[in-house]
Structure 1
Amino acid sequence: MTLKFARLGTTGNEQPAVIAQDADGVEKYFSLASLTKDIDGGFLASDGIARTREALKSSELPEISAEGVRVGSPVARPGSVVCIGLNYTAHAAESGATPPEVPVVFLKPSNTVSGPFDRAPIPPSSEKYDWEVELAIVIGREASYLSSVAEAEECIAGYAVANDLSEREYQIPGAAGQWTKGKSLPGSTPLGPWLVPASDIDAGNLRLTTTVNGEARQDSNTSDMIFDAPTIVHHLSQYMVLEPGDVIITGTPEGVALSGRFPFIHPGDVVELEIEGLGRQRQEYYRAQAGTPGSSSSSGSHTALAGTNA
């Protein structure tokens, strides 16, 4: 049975839930409140996914209605958001870079994580805000100095959709352009809608797509990644401790605005990102005002998410 873990509710008040099929193949939402307070590192490290399967088999989890309820990030605020750059050959080419021989690594603040349908702020002075659909890895057990890629694979709890929003003028050509400045803006890591367990999906062969205002921008497959998910986890473990609940976003395919083929994001634009089996995101963009909070907790309804099989 394929499970989809979600967190439902207003910002800061999300409740843990799981989506599963009943005997007739109909997807339903079930509360995880009897198993955990949240979907976080503690839940994942304590075999939370396996415990959820057992609880569903024994009909211990109450069904809930999710109609009209906000969908948050499927993982509570992670300790770390680790990012891989230039992990698709075609994207490296459109960025004017040589495909890397070892993973390019940078970090994003964990406070950039937002819900998959939350309204998304464009920074007040930004003119080059860009989308990036990415496969997100969620860590399920501590990873440090792992001895093999196979061992690394055992540390992956599951996968989700991520959007690595990037301000290119801050990131690259500015007076002090650097990736950290361009990748750390409020609300710049929409995550979700679901966390799908690693055992339930082939993360090495998933279609990724992005549309802007209904027009195609990105269309690729995770099989085109230079470094696959277990290789990335193994590599990172040689340089840092990965903890349960940490998120790794694994790079974007070609088709971003940085390529020069498309305009950057403007207020009122709608960006939709989808990864096969992991669901769809939708963000409507607005211009943040100086002196006001940069992110928004408002979002569209998550209605019919259970039926979305990206």
Structure 2
Amino acid sequence: MAGHHSIDYTSITAPYKELCMKGKGLGHLKNARGLSIEPVTGMIYVVEGGNTRIQVFSPEGSHQFILHPKFAKWGRVDLWGICINDGIVYVSDYQGGRIFLYTLDGDIITVFAKGFTTNKKMIIKMQQPMGIAINQKGDIYVCEFGANCILILENDSNNHIQTFHYQSPLSIVLRKDGSFIGSKGNLIYGKKTSAIESNQMIYEGIWATLCWFGDFDSNGNIFMSDMKGHQILIYETSSGRPTLLHIIKMTFVGSPMGIAVDRNGRIICVTDSKLHFFKGNTKAISMYS
């Protein structure tokens, strides 16, 4: 009987492909930030802070179209994080304190922008949302940098569910088991959201330089873009607490920002004006080992 395959990420030293250039035209990027992969089509959605838009690329990186919603009515908009779930694009507006919800074609669905009453009867106003993620129920996790917390909002009603208090959270990635990985400055942390009453931590105190964005692969490995360290950090989690597996040093101009791992195990990362594609060596694993 055949075994299955895994990816050897420790073999990665450089991207195998780089695309895009700085500018305002089609396929050009300026001050790129968040990045997300649409799970069904594999399309790559990139948030541009400099051009205030979202560009869409094919899985191989060819430009498809610009998701360019009409932001004029909202005043100053500072796009940051992005997440795609069930045909809906969620984008955080750092400057305006809002979460925009769009269709995959760019039609606006709704906007979340208000204060929330926590279970401790505290009023939290969305101020500077950054990282954003969606769980399997459709609940929205927002890294509220300005309010020093992670907000959990009910998808269909924008109702506040829960708040985790962290100092200046930047990014968040959810696992299927309900736990999450995030970063706050130079610290990577994890929490079991299923253990709400005990507020149980998975781990806390894994130091990096300055991690803005992150993702998981299908095996639970953690991928973090370390902007200040100019590198991508890869952690494996088979033993429970993450262990540093590999560091990809960025030898090109620009610091890593948005990062995602597709269903084939490729790492896709964006810097200010380029898309970078990485892939490790595929290795077979015997089902009897």
Q: TM above 0.5, one fold?
A: no
Q: TM-score when scaled to structure 1? A: 0.24
Richer in helix (by share): 1
Q: TM-score when scaled to structure 2? A: 0.25
Richer in strand (by share): 2
More relative contact order, 1 or 2 (CA 8 Å, 6+ apart): 1
